[in-house]
Chain A
């Protein structure tokens, strides 16, 4: 229901504005992001969603980056070890937090009550670390896990899945197939390397073709510096039949946190986005390091 206006807009060639970063925005506001703050500071997370809606975002994405059962389980040798020394709620925690992440975005939409349609995208990334294609799990294992994750976000009111920061076509295929099986609209955002290809060496042409075959409504580029997004967009846009999009990170990754720089203030970031639009992109937003001010600046590109 909240997705239809978006789909129509894309089909008509309109421009859709995404939100900006949520994880790094939590940090910029001087709060630790260790537990996503979904349980400990829900009003704080919801407040950031609300700021993005006020800044004009058509899509807000949930605060659920890397939030999965696997992320928690990876800290233990096996089930026996986790049950022996781990927190007692670990078997349920990931799904409860995922559900909360969707609900907070839905609540933010209700609170701000924008007069325009705003869609809630469940932001889901790769099962293993987003920059490490060497760690991608086997297809059937990944399928089981995505069925669970996408099922939870759908049940809690997500309008679409934004499968983001993806490093291989294989994992994207599985996720897109699961989304289709659940009738959940799906957008997929790949990380472009400097070369304009994926980290695996696969081409964006092959990636977009695989996604189109699986019913993905939009293919995007994200989590790379603006220059790499520009290079990637030249590869992606001419080969895409579906709408393409982009959201770059700005600043530098300083694990486990983010280093904010003043290299891309909103006006300069807007110029980069204008260039991607020129190249064919219709979905524009911000990845790590971007703020509600960056999203407000993108309104001029509609």
Chain B
């Protein structure tokens, strides 16, 4: 399936990435625990299905910010987790990853889209996606991304998307982990308020490192549409591989409980689908061949992109 996607990109076609999973599940009232994968599997699968119906060429697994540290972090250490934590916590992440892939695949099969739509296994920064200062050193990041990439490879996703990377060194580690697991890898970067990576490292350097490491595509994401438009406008100047763009809409409204990540975006009405489509047209005009939606976007946003790109 990936070869097909790849050749579409090579032919210069624009491919459509789905929209947000986490923020949309939260908006629909799913109580955010274990990404809804244990308690709300039907809602997760149904949302994948809606993105497919809206015309998405790629479904991303509902695994954003899912990694063992997410659970380990809130304990003193592993021993404390074993003592007072729910049984099985230390082995939970691979299980959730498998569930996430299965739900995306089931939605694809139900939609009759096997062989037409690719599933991207999604890994994201080991620490909070908005906290580049917490990103572990390369070797640590590689050691922690590796098993997650391997689970996705074993579950036969079509490719790996290292999403919302906020530093060059961790993106390199995630990319290396995916390559070692023999998966094609795409990498997306969080764009900071200054227009570079959230770490303030130059976007051009990040792209060069990703190309050197064998990334098949590089994307800009996790910032408001205007920022993504500016970043996409610069990508052509220094990017040889296909590149893409997807913005978040609304404002991040974290929970008052101290959780690692709870994808709640509010005030998203400020970006109705038609307006989002107009912005995305700019990304395509700037050379982006992959467009989609980040946090806050919904199947309605994907649908207008799909209509514009002739998917429906």
Contact = CB atoms under 8 A, between A and B. Distances in A.
A87 B264 CA distance: 10
Interface in B249-268: 251-259, 261-262, 264, 266-267
Interface stretch (B55-63, B70-78, B115-123): B70-78
Interface stretch (A27-35, A149-157, A213-221, A274-282): A27-35
A contact patch SS: loop
Nearest to B129: A75
B132 interface: yes
B220 interface: no
Interface string A93-108: 1100100000000000
Interface stretch (A170-178, A252-260, A290-298): A252-260
* B: contact size bracket: 35 or more
B130 A33 contact: no
B256 A32 contact: no
A253 B86 contact: yes
A269 B37 CA distance: 33
A85 B252 CA distance: 6
Contact of B84 (A33, A81, A88, A249): A249
A263 B248 CA distance: 45
A74 interface: yes
B198 interface: yes
A167 B259 CA distance: 18
A190 to B, nearest CB: 13
A34 B255 contact: yes
A183 B75 CA distance: 33
A275 B37 CA distance: 41
Given A34-B257, A86-B252, A81 B86 contact: no
B294 to A, nearest CB: 11
Contact of B257 (A71, A132, A253): A71
Contacts, number: 122
Interface string A53-93: 00000000000011100011011110011001111101001
A194 interface: yes
Interface string A111-132: 0000000000000000001011
A67 B73 CA distance: 18
Contacts of B130: 75-77, 81
Interface residues of A, number: 45
B251 A256 contact: no
A224 interface: yes
Nearest to B72: A255
Nearest to B26: A34
B31 interface: yes
Q: Which of B84, B132, B223, B261 has the most CB of A within 10 A?
A: B84
Contact of A88 (B70, B128, B251, B259): B251
A72 B267 CA distance: 18
Contact of B254 (A72, A194, A255): A72
Contact of B256 (A84, A97, A249): A97
Contact of A129 (B73, B84, B256, B262): B73
A49 interface: no
A257 B131 CA distance: 23
A46 interface: no
Interface of A: 23, 32-36, 38, 65-67, 71-72, 74-77, 80-81, 84-88, 90, 93-94, 97, 129, 131-133, 167, 193-194, 199, 224-225, 249, 252-257, 259
17 contacts: A32-B31, A34-B31, A34-B264, A65-B257, A71-B258, A75-B130, A77-B133, A85-B193, A86-B253, A87-B266, A133-B76, A249-B84, A253-B84, A253-B86, A254-B85, A255-B70, A255-B85
